[in-house]
Each structure stands twice: as structure tokens, then as C-alpha cells.
Amino acid sequence: MKRRKQIVKTVSIIFLIISSFCMIYPVLFMALGAFTTQERFLDANILPIPNTLNIALFERAFGAGVSRAYFVTLIRALFYIGVTLLVGLIGGYIFSKMRFPGRNKAFLLLLSGMVMPGILMLVPMYLLVAWFPLAGGNNIFGQGGHGFVGEWPALFIYGWVPPFAIFLLKQSFDMLPTEYEDAAKMDGAGFFTVIFNVYGPLLKPPIVALVILTFLGIWNDYLWPSLVISGNQEWQPIAYRISSVVLSDWSPVGTTDYPAVMVRTFLAMWPPAVLYFLLQRYFVQGMVASGLKG
């Protein structure tokens, strides 16, 4: 019996090592390829072996608008993280701790937003932005101009009330006893103090999980910017910018400057990876907190 367990474990570990390597292989290949010369890259057997820093290539990429795209994406990520946490905490608190008429109906309405696949809303959301009243030459009925299409507000206009964040934080509030709040209220704490100062510090795992998820969502956003901002180079976020830069000087036939391509994709991909490595402990905890029983 003991012997069999040992064998199962050894096989598991070997399988895990091989499969995990396969999972990260395409990304690892890219990351190492970003630091090799073309000759060394073309000689690669399984993985390219780094031999240079490719500073010129990085400089060229930043010259091609990547630094501006970093800035745009960061602003956008910070904005959405702020909005998600603010609305999520207030909404989660209200739905978890307060009793009032219409509570369950309002919560169900919010949850229905989670089954609405965002991708299908692209066309109508585009119209909503294009017909935004009094924007971009539109009249009060949203006709006559181009609305926010091609302008920066298009990147900031949707998703201020995120159902998933409210749901996750409501579940987390549910698990905290109300005594904290009662004690704080005795000391004269108001609505915001209770949410942000009393409960806030106790909700670190779900908050960090939301920070990561929001950051990833914004950093990786491609379809929406490709629709509403593609004509405006000033405001192209990173995923879209990188894709168009890579596509513009790569062709499926002929020789490719592979390290240049790898440097660019590397620039789009390192921040989410680093953030995830740093915060993953909280991330898993926070997801567990969403309470899969519910």
C-alpha cells in the first residue's frame, strides 16, 4: 500500500514537471528570445539561450509609441481599479449588511449582468458611445457627430458598476461578523468609516484579487480599443498598440527580425506576469472567498 502511494506520487511529480513546462513553454520561448541575437535565436534547439540585452531593440520599441501606450494603459488601470473598489465596497456592504425593501430584486438585477457576454454587447456599446449626446459634435439626441469614437472618454465610459466585484465583496462581507460595525458605530463612525476603515482592512484578500483581475482586464483589453480608438494613436492602450506594431513589420513570408518581435511582445506581457507572481497568494485566497457554495 505504502509502496503504491510512493509510485503514484513519483508519477504525479514527473507528469507535473513535464506538463507545467509545456504550459509556460511558448511564453518562456518568447521571454528568452527577447534577449538573444538573431543568429543565436535561429540556432535554438528547444529554447533560445539569452546572450544580449538588445537595448537598441527596446529603445526602438519605446520610440514606436510603446511608452505612451504604457502611460495610457496605466492611467486606465488605475481609474478602473479605483472605481471597482469604491463601487464594489459600497455595493457589497449595502447588499450584505443593510436591510431595505427591494434589496433582493436589485441584487438579482445586478447579477443578471454577469451572464451578459461582453463581446456580444460590442456593437450596441459602440453605438452608445457613437451616439453619446453632446459629445464629438453630436446634438442632444446623439446625432450628427462621431460621439466619443476615437476620443479618450470612450476608454473610460463603461463598467463603472462591476457586478462581479459587488458579488465577490458581498460574499466576503457576509463572512465578517457585524459586531465590528456595531462597536465602531458606538464610537460614532459613519457610513464610509465603517466600510473603508473598519471592514476594509479585513477584506484584503478579495480586494487584492479584484485589483489583479481589474488590472489584467484593462491591461489585456484589445477588442474594445480596437473598435473605438483604433484611429487615435495618442490613446491606444498597450495590447492594441503592440499588436499593430508587431503586425506592421512582420510578414509570414521572408525572414523576420525575431528578437525585435519578441522584445515587443515581451513589453506587453511582463507586467501582468510580474503582478501575478507578486500577489498570487492573496489572489487564490480571494477567489476562494467568493464562496463556491453560494
Nearer to other proteins, 88 or 151 (CB): 88
List C-alpha distances in Å: 61 to 64, 141, 214: 5, 42, 26
Q: How far apart are CA 170 and CA 35, in angstroms?
A: 45
**Smallest distance from other proteins to CB 227, Å:** 8
**Smallest distance from other proteins to CB 183, Å:** 18
**Smallest distance from other proteins to CB 11, Å:** 9
Nearer to other proteins, 30 or 207 (CB): 30
Q: How far apart are CA 156 and CA 171, in angstroms?
A: 27
- DSSP track, 112-138: HTTSS-GGGGHHHHHHHHHT-TTSTT-
Q: How far apart are CA 282 and CA 263, in angstroms?
A: 30
Q: Which residues contact 33 (CB under 8 A, 6 or more apart)?
A: 41, 44, 48, 258, 259, 262
Nearer to other proteins, 141 or 277 (CB): 277
**Smallest distance from other proteins to CB 55, Å:** 22
Q: How far apart are CA 19 and CA 256, in angstroms?
A: 30
**Smallest distance from other proteins to CB 6, Å:** 12
The three grid cell numbers given for residue 81, joined into one nine-digit string: 481599479
**Smallest distance from other proteins to CB 234, Å:** 20
Nearer to other proteins, 27 or 53 (CB): 27
Nearer to other proteins, 12 or 233 (CB): 12
Nearer to other proteins, 207 or 228 (CB): 228
SS3 288: helix
Nearer to other proteins, 189 or 216 (CB): 216
Phi/psi at 214 (5° precision): -65, -45
**Smallest distance from other proteins to CB 232, Å:** 17
Nearest to 227 by CA among 117, 130, 133, 113: 130
Q: Could you give the dihedral angle defined by the CA atoms of residues 187, 188, 194 and 197, in that order, rounded to the nearest 10 degrees?
A: -70
Q: What angle do CA 276, 280, 282 make, to 5 degrees?
A: 135
**Smallest distance from other proteins to CB 277, Å:** 7
Nearer to other proteins, 56 or 284 (CB): 284
